Amino acid sequence: MVVVPSNISDIEPYQGGKPIKEVAREIGIPESKIIKLASNENPLGISPLAQEAIKNVLEEGSRYPDGNGYYLKQEISKKFSIDSNRIILGNGSNDILEIAARTVLSPGDEVIYSEHAFAVYEIVTKSNGAVGIVAPAKDYCHNLQNFLSLITNKTKLIFIANPNNPTGTLIERLTLKNFISQVPESILVVLDEAYDEYLDDDLKSVAFSWLAEYKNILISRSFSKAYGLAGLRVGYGVGSINLVELMNRVRQPFNVNHFAQVAAIESLKDNEFIEKSRAINNQGLKLISNAFKGLSIEYIPSYGNFISFKLQDEKCAMMYYHHLLNNGVIVRPIANYGLPNFLRVSVGLESENNSFIKYLSNCNI
Binding site for ligand PLP (CB under 6 A): 40, 92-94, 118, 161, 165, 192, 194, 222, 224-225, 230, 235
The C-alpha atoms of residue 212 and residue 7 are separated, in whole angstroms, by 36
The one-character DSSP state at 28 is -
Q: Shortest approach of ligand PLP to residue 325 CB, angstroms?
A: 21
| Complete DSSP assignment for 185-249 | TTSEEEEE-TTGGGS-TTTS--GGGGTTT-TTEEEEEESSSTT--TTT--EEEE--HHHHHHHHH
Of the pair 257, 354, the CB lying nearest ligand PLP is at 257
The residue among 176, 168, 166, 157 whose CA lies nearest residue 119 is: 166
The CA dihedral of 235, 146, 203, 81, to the nearest 10 degrees, is -50
CB atoms within 10 A of CB 117: 24
Cβ proximity of 143 and 121 under 8 Å = no
**How many angstroms from the chain centroid is the CA of residue 131?**
22
Q: Shortest approach of ligand PLP to residue 36 CB, angstroms?
A: 14
Of the pair 92, 348, the CB lying nearest ligand PLP is at 92
Q: Shortest approach of ligand PLP to residue 1 CB, angstroms?
A: 32
Q: Shortest approach of ligand PLP to residue 115 CB, angstroms?
A: 14
Of the pair 205, 327, the CB lying nearest ligand PLP is at 205
Q: Shortest approach of ligand PLP to residue 332 CB, angstroms?
A: 11
Of the pair 124, 357, the CB lying nearest ligand PLP is at 124
Q: Shortest approach of ligand PLP to residue 21 CB, angstroms?
A: 19
The one-character DSSP state at 251 is S
Of the pair 164, 327, the CB lying nearest ligand PLP is at 164
Q: How many CA atoms lie within 13 A of 190 on its CB side?
A: 35
Of the pair 102, 323, the CB lying nearest ligand PLP is at 102
